[in-house]
Structure 1
Amino acid sequence: MKKVSILTLVGRNFNNNYGAVLQAYALQETIKKLNYNTEIIDFNPKASKNEILKKICQRINEGNFLNMVLRISSKNISSKLHKKQEILRNKKFETFRSEQLYLSKKTYNNEEELINNYETSDYYIVGSDQVWNPIAGIEKIKVYLFSFVTNSKKISYAASVSKKIPENYKKTYSDLLKDFDYISVREMDGKEQIKQLTDKNIEIVLDPTLLLSKNEWNRISKEPKNIPTYKYIFVYDLYRSNEILSGLCKFAKKRGLKIINYTPNNIYKKIKYTHVSDSFYEYGPSEFLWYLKNSEYVVTSSFHGTVFSLLFEKEFYAVTPDTGYKGGNAFNSRLTDLLDTLGLKNRILDDPSKLNIVNFEKGIDWGKIDEKLNVEKEKSLNFLKNTLNS
């Protein structure tokens, strides 16, 4: 049986993000069903001092330095206040990785280690997620463009560029993309950028989480330790938490619903937002799925929160991140591309204060959504089948 190595933004001790881990699992399982041995390369890139300095300078030039300082400060404060939750969360993610992901035995930290030590595969697939985001720095980007691979098929699946590729990076992108056998991306913006750098055909495909069925996701869903005894709104407030909770509390009060959200809660937050009941921050990917699928409604500022709302057929609204955030434009692109394809752009909110007046009951026709998703799913699966059978 031929071997497929997947390179994505997940490693054994890298990236405790629900969407990142679940999309890696989805691509792994999809390729397994096509009768290939799969392995996720445990790549845990380490930032050098020069890269950190470059990022700070870039933020200053972009006028986002203050936002970056505030984010770092808030994370530091949060980690001190919620150390116990952080430990529990890490354990849950570790358990999920060990039980569900086929990671390489060895961990790799840079291009040189991969060149010298990684065993050869028949196929290498990079994706999904923001694997080609230039903000990572050119040395890491080279790895995600398979600079270490020789004499094997190179494929990208639903790769995302996210930001505008700087002029001084374009030659590296162009040179390494020429060696790819097949290229697919997740967003139209990414397709347009990559198209300028290569004459190869570029396809747009679904995020791999959408390649698995609701039943397949149900199989790895797991009840949390303390099951809610009340009806609730699931809030994946990855960004703009205070704005979302402020806008949503009035709606929750009217409906007699509680709110279970992502960002860790403290006494101050529970006093300010009276209907906030609990946080799922300390739980892993399996519990995340359980909380979402058992909710009454979903509000999310995460792309993958939107994806799983679609998969579990939940009435939802997706809030765009603040445009000052480094991933804001990328989120808008991948979100609008997906929901536009499905005829659901009316479920996008730029202003979270409108959560007080939105109509969740303006029902989504899930039959039509399933039809459209199945068409896109077939195209995406055909891309994988054709590239791996070539």
Structure 2
Amino acid sequence: MSWSQRRTPSAERRLATLPRPPQPAGRGSRRSRYLKIMRRASCTLMLAASLGSSLAAFAQAPRYAFAVVANALTSQSEEASAQRLIDAIGRDPQIAFMVYDGNLKGARETCADHLYEQRHDLLDASRAPLVFVPGERDWVTCGMNGSGAYDPAERLDFLRQNFFSDPNALGQTPLTLTRESEVSRFRPYRENVRWQLGDTVFIGLNVPDGNNHYLNAGGRNGEFEDRVIANGFWLEHAAEYAKRRNARAIVIFMQGNAMPEHYERPDRFAWLRFHRAPRDGYLELRRSLVKLAEIFRGQIIVVNTDDSKLAHGFTIDQPLRNDKGAKIENVTRIAFSLRDPLTQWLQVDADMARRTPLRVSVHDVPKHLPLLPVQP
């Protein structure tokens, strides 16, 4: 039994080519050496090109992890445990950065300057870069009597001057951030930040809980209206930035839960009713997220805290819809509510080489890790 020869065009050309007569020793040997050198050079170039493409692919698909914590500080007695939590996260070499997603003070603590300065030093002692996202208790509820009856807008300005004045994130390891205040039109909004790691663009946005600080009193709701415009611009700017950088995903951190529990179609005749529902302070933000998803077709992940008790400490869903009720498929929300915010953190492991590049889990502080002395 004999195998039939495959008649490819190259084989036909080889069969049709007559064999060359033998060359003289001197000239033929030089020609053969020249051909060998050229073949080796071409192989070397092909190997270098393949190695270069592999290294480029590895650089575009790094493996890293980041941690998210929130609500870890409600009183001064918890500062040592919170510092132990931050130190445990910083000891992990896989953690590229961590995000403190709002509420660095308790609801009954005063919004005094010295408390903010003490919490700033506590966060700044982190080994890993730490990005702070302001939450509801950090400035919105400061107008209540139990918090000192401060002006919320004035407390927000104080946070901007003391927590967001530096171009780098907090912590002992530098991480350069791009702040919205670099745009002259939005110079006050230093808390809105952007940074990039690998193929992912990260956004920190000032969206507090408590209906996004929408005030029902009459007159112009100045702080809310101006911040809505600034947040919408920052999201659209991030979409264009991610497209130019060929990013695969955008991750947005905010403290407030902007997604409704149940989607309801807008009632066309709601204005005829005498008892109106309270105005939704997150409506404009959701529309900005829909516009972001239209501009940037990659994956968009929104990370926010949740007040309800979650079985696994977090939940993953796709609650965003447009005004017509259609689900936005490329927007995913990760809502987390840790059982013990002083001993647990939410960790997201990223590996862009996998089909599902992000994996979410809850980690605990090692029990053998001692308490650290509180920073003076």
Q: TM-score range by the shorter chain?
A: under 0.3
**If each structure's helix is expressed as a fraction of its own residues, which one has the higher value?**
1
Q: Give the TM-score of the pair, scaled to structure 2.
A: 0.28
Give 1 or 2 for the bigger CA radius of gyration. Answer: 2
